[in-house]
Amino acid sequence: MPRFETWQMELHGHRVIYRTAGSGAPVVLIHGMVNSSRHWEEVALRLATEYRVIAPDLIGHGDSATPRGDYSMGAHAAFIRDVLAVLGIERATIVGHSLGGGVAMQFFYQFPQYVERLVLISSGGLGREVSPLLRTATLPGAQGLLAMGSHRKVLAGAWRAGERLRASGNNTGIYLQAIVRALRPLERRGARGAFVHTLRSVIDARGQRVSATDRLYLLRGIPTLVVWGERDRTIPLAHGRLTHEAVPHSSFVTLPRAAHFPHLEDPDGLAAALREFIASSEPGTTSDRAWAALMAPRAQQTRLA
């Protein structure tokens, strides 16, 4: 039976944790904000019977280092490139959840030659709307509030409240437990700082401030799967539908049992969708010439002098 093994590497002087399972064609799983590679375990083990699964902890998340530094989308994408380079992986299926979906799209934009397929799960970067909780967390003083909100006793009480709500048939309990799950990794001060820096790089009080919608046409030659939990109240399901419509030849799957964390709430459904998508699609390739050909019709040039 495959095991989800934990490994450590030093990258640019900082500790990086990644987890891996299985063998075969590589599949890279990029977690969302305040998640970690641990949260991919159930999906990774289901994929590991056919594929080599690699799930890194992004810098500032999970068990990786939390240095004072750059937590932008571009920095996270470069981090993924460097991890894959160290592991000797030249091309892979790239899967991203929430923030990780935004990182996956940025990774494709910066390093398209690495990407055979792209999977976006309840992804950020596809529209302005986002939950009020995340918008509030960008405001001044948020780090102090997070310290109180992520206290172990507070989270335990909130989780029990979520269980009672779900038992009574109130779907608010699912959302409350999703919040608790997100706050648990923020007990460490360094993790809270990294979270706030990462959050403010992509969200402000008005909503998501980073968008990939103007570059989705570049995915024309890359097999793309969009997956969304039908109960998602963090990022609207409509973002997934609009992305599917904008990306030629993309596939779209919704998971009725899942909210914003399909890999935790319905790992069977998500893993099945991933296996079917990978098995039914041929790896895409993007050469420099093809990249230029995609952009040329939209990159109108005007002589000014």
Mean pLDDT for 192-202 is 74
φ, ψ for residue 234, nearest 5 deg: -95, -50
pTM score, two decimals?
Answer: 0.85
List 96's β-bridge partners, or say none. Answer: 30, 120
91 pLDDT higher than 90: yes
For the chain, domains (ranges, CATH) are 5-131+210-295 (3.40.50.1820)
Looking at the chain, how many residues does it have? 305
* 111 φ, ψ (degrees, to nearest 5): -135, 60
Q: Which percentage of the chain shows pLDDT scores above 70?
A: 88
Of 88 and 194, more confident: 88
DSSP letters spanning 19-55: EEE--SSEEEEE--TT--GGGGHHHHHHHTTTSEEEE
The whole-angstrom distance between residue 110's C-alpha and the CA centroid of its chain comes to 16
Predicted confidence (pLDDT) per residue in 144-164, tens digit = 556 555 566 766 777 788 888
Residue pLDDT, tens place only, 258-281: 999 999 999 999 999 999 999 999
Report d(CA 203, CA 225) in Å as an integer: 24
Structure tokens at 197: 């820096």
pLDDT (tens digit per residue) in 216-251:
999 989 999 999 999 998 999 999 999 999 998 999
The letter for the amino acid at 36 is S
Question: Catalytic residues, which ones?
Answer: 98, 232, 260
Rounded Cα distance between 237 and 229, Å, is 7
